[in-house]
Amino acid sequence: MTDVLAERFAALNETATGDWLDVRRRARRASLRVAVPVAAAAAAFAAAAAFAATGGWVFSTHDRHVTATTHLTLAGHTYDVSLTTIGGRRICFRLTAPTGTRSACVDRLAPSSDQYAGLPLAVPGGHIWFGVTVGFARKIAITNAAGDTYSSPTVAAPRGTKTPFRYWAIGVAGTARSFTMYGAGGRSITDRIPKR
């Protein structure tokens, strides 16, 4: 009895001229051609994941800095607001208006309560107030000298940013007289704003 398969394999071995090292090199190159675009796509996805929109705010992160940006309108003018928290304590504020950009930084939350940091910047028709609060705050309300109250929910940064702060921004007509922070359970803390 003849082994047909053995004869065929013997024929293949006699005529095979392939260079297996070359075959392996080409296979590695092919896998790199696939791996490089896949790695690039993964990096692009990770970069995109650093940007997230929440409650009208757009968040981005870089080297323990979390930047939150939004825009709001007061007296017919639109303003871009940017808050950057650096590490756990330093907060930098930036307001971009049609007339230019203004910025300031503080090194900690409010000394009286240590629960929020807010900054008013004067604009035509009133002030743009914006800042950060501790994690349990859910709403900020500011009452002006005429007794009108303006409020905004606070917005938590996406989980990946790993910041404890919540962000807020409010356009207030006229001059602010009191600032109230509301917690998740409805409790509130009110601070009087000194006359300037």
pLDDT tens for residues 36-55?
Answer: 454 444 444 333 334 455 56
| Percent of the chain topping pLDDT 90 | 23
Sheet holding 52-54, edge to edge: 52-54, 57-62, 65-74, 77-86, 90-97, 100-106
pLDDT band at 143 (very low <50, low <70, confident <90, very high): very high
* pLDDT at residue 108, as a whole number: 65
DSSP 38: H
pLDDT band at 149 (very low <50, low <70, confident <90, very high): very high
Question: Computed over its alpha carbons, how large is the radius of gyration of the chain?
Answer: 30
* pLDDT at residue 194, as a whole number: 76
Q: Parallel, antiparallel, or unpaired: how do β-strands 176-183 and 166-173 relate?
A: unpaired
Arithmetic mean of pLDDT, 87-100 = 83
Residue predicted with more confidence, 106 or 41: 106
Residue 117 Cα to chain centre, angstroms: 18
Residue 61 Cα to chain centre, angstroms: 6
* pLDDT at residue 132, as a whole number: 86
DSSP 154: -
* pLDDT at residue 3, as a whole number: 58
Distance CA 58, CA 68 (A): 6
pLDDT tens for residues 151-171?
Answer: 999 998 887 777 778 899 999
Distance CA 148, CA 150 (A): 7
Contact present, 83 and 189 (Cβ < 8 Å): no
Distance CA 1, CA 113 (A): 97
Distance CA 149, CA 142 (A): 6
